[in-house]
Structure 1
Amino acid sequence: MKRETAIRVAGIRIPVRSVERSEPFYCGRLGLRKGRSDAGRHALTLFPALPHGPLLELVEADEVPPMHFPVRGGYFQPIIRLHASDLEGMFGRLDGIKTTAVHQDLPDDGCGRFFEVADPDGTWLQYHVNLGEQVIMAGTTEAVVNIEIPVADVRRSAAFYRTIGFSLDRDPNDEVAFLSAGVIVDRFGYRGIPEFGIILTRRDEFPLMRFIRQKKWEPVVTLQTEDAEAYRASLVDSGIAVSEWHSQETSCCFLLSDPDGHFLGVRSYSSQTVDGEQPRGRLAPSFPLEKINMTRVEEEI
């Protein structure tokens, strides 16, 4: 059987208490473009300004869990990182909103400059620009570039994410690993880079990337693959914990759990386009709590 892998990250889902309350912040202040609105599921799809990379989806949740974790020096790291080449312009349109100052020298800062902003529910998002990068668009959210996932064992988690189809950008150490997925693009001052990255970072305590809505599990991250059935079978053969099938219309999808209990949703690739753009993926439906019957769970989970 041909090995099918999760070819890209389709979407990042943000739990909110009210989509109606959150929409002015995400669309008006952050400059995200409003896409499909699902009144029945109380969800709203949002598009960054540039093509390629995941979309965002606001999903009404029973509770809004933390989407950040503590780092050295008493600071914190948001899980979701957005890109704005005009970082100062982006910062300037957030007057009156809770933000941190622009920084580039905190203990866990990487290359570039950053600031953090809190949405109406207190979920922190991080904005980033590379040092020396030229402005592409003035004061707006250009892309979702990566997420930083806190884990207990970096090497174990890196092996898991490689098994499910991510590429390892460099050899991991005990503290951090860099992985990527998706199409190769030229942007943000770099040539030939993957459209999306994952940073695994070791932490002793951290929130899990999943939330509950109407007594159902919802994944924060959704993946997209060409053949969900073959992909799921290959995961089971590899000993990866997966949920049972969940069918919706003509699509099949399921959940999988990483070694720390972070949930990821999976959908088959869709050839649909939105406003003439390349498809960014349809997000996975929720799963009843009692339906998360994993076919095999590793001892560490």
Structure 2
Amino acid sequence: MRRDFARSGLSKAVARHDTPALFDWLIRILSLQGVSDAIAWRYIDQHGSVSFSDLETTLAAAPSCPKLTSYWHFDACRFTKQTFLCSEPSHIEACPLPYHDLRNGRLNQTAYSLFLFVRDVCGGDLVGWIDARLAAADQLEAPNHRARMRQALLEPLTCVYGISFKVLSMALADLLLAGDPGRKRWIETGASMIAIDTLVHNWLHRTGCLQALGAEHAYGPGCYGPEGCSAIIEAAAYAIDARQFYPEGPAIFPRLVQKAIWLFCTEGGLDVCNGNRIDDRFACGQVSCPLFSRCDRVPLKAE
């Protein structure tokens, strides 16, 4: 990741507090919601994305829609691309928001909401805002230290319209871990970012972890609850010294544990524990799986 950040110029963007460059990267990552990554990237390749400078220019013209006044005014826009309707129909023809060719109207709203957040809440300096939030939350003696650091960023940013907890956690993990190796708070917080997708949730179900811990729940918001998938992985990370796998990283590395589970399951990784390999109506029968003898093989779906 650090090599990729260096090649793409994102490391320099962090060092220079280059908010436009970081916004442009982040809004592309946030487009990976609701469809497969391949579909999302193909659409961006064909139609382009939206940039910080695009939005800065359009908003400098002071559009008439009252929702574009500030981040705090931007609420319940409700623009939909298919119907070309919104909650302020008398302003829509002159409004710049609908005219960016993004995959759906939700992403148009996300782009403007995030821009206004960066402008109005972060004061135009995303890196400075992250530094300040983490510094304020960095209280080593306080309980749940890592959770406090993590939530200092996640709680305000998940209020930006259309940003899912999972994709935001993935994006912030990459930015904080790869953006600047010298920022210790960034490394510690990025290492604690856990993104739960269906592969990770289903692995915890099939192996019997959820059942054994009395933490059975449906995939969704419950995965981030006090007894959800995220909490289980974080607790497990405390029993694993991650430096045996990556000596330069932190000893407690929940993100690495989560990524290892995901790579074990995904078709692009080891391709072991997923719906292509297992008939979810029955217990898994993959005797060649290295975990087979230690797995409870709980069927994912009840008959």
With the length of structure 1 as denominator, give the TM-score of the two structures: 0.28
* Greater Rg by CA: 2
More helix per residue: 2
Higher RCO structure (Cα 8 Å, ≥6 apart): 1
More strand per residue: 1
